[in-house]
């Protein structure tokens, strides 16, 4: 196999929970292949491509090492890529559960949560 659809590869490599979730991530412009924004889920990835994805408030950088016909266990999925994510990058300042212990978030907490969900972290 020389290449595989990007959405299917992200799903088989267990970088996303669902294939449709991978397609939404790509459509939102949060996935890059070799520095170029991936515009379609059908774009082919090849061995050696570097994929950068921003999801769940973090950035992941991986190099494609292999392909899978179907989604398998996590131990097999980890062999499909080499993790290049820098470990020394500090996490962005984002709201956490420890921000407020009361019953409801304050107006400031709500604004931070909304900004986080909209990708403005």
pLDDT over 60 (residue 1): yes
pLDDT tier at 118, thresholds 50, 70, 90: confident
The answer to which of 87-91, 106-110, 117-121 has the lowest mean pLDDT is 87-91
Q: Which sequence spans correspond to the domains of the chain?
A: 4-89, 90-121
Q: For position 2, what pLDDT does the model report?
A: 82
Q: What confidence tens digit (pLDDT) does each residue in 36-88 have?
A: 999 999 999 999 999 999 887 788 999 999 999 999 999 999 999 999 988 86
Say which CATH superfamily domain 4-89 falls into: RNA-binding S4 domain (3.10.290.10)
**CA separation, residue 87 to residues 12, 32, 41, 48, 68 (Å):** 24, 19, 28, 21, 27
């Amino acid at each position: 196999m020389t290449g595989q659809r990007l959405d299917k590869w992200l799903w088989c490599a267990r970088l996303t929970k669902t294939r449709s979730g991978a397609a939404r991530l790509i459509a939102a412009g949060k996935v890059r292949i070799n520095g170029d924004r991936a515009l379609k889920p059908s774009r082919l990835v090849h061995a050696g491509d570097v994929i950068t994805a921003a999801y769940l408030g973090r950035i992941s950088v991986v190099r494609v090492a292999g392909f899978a016909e179907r989604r398998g266990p996590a131990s097999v999925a980890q062999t499909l890529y080499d993790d290049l994510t820098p470990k020394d990058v500090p996490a962005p300042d984002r709201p956490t559960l420890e921000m407020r212990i009361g019953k409801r978030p304050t107006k400031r907490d709500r604004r931070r949560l909304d900004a986080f969900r909209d990708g403005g972290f």
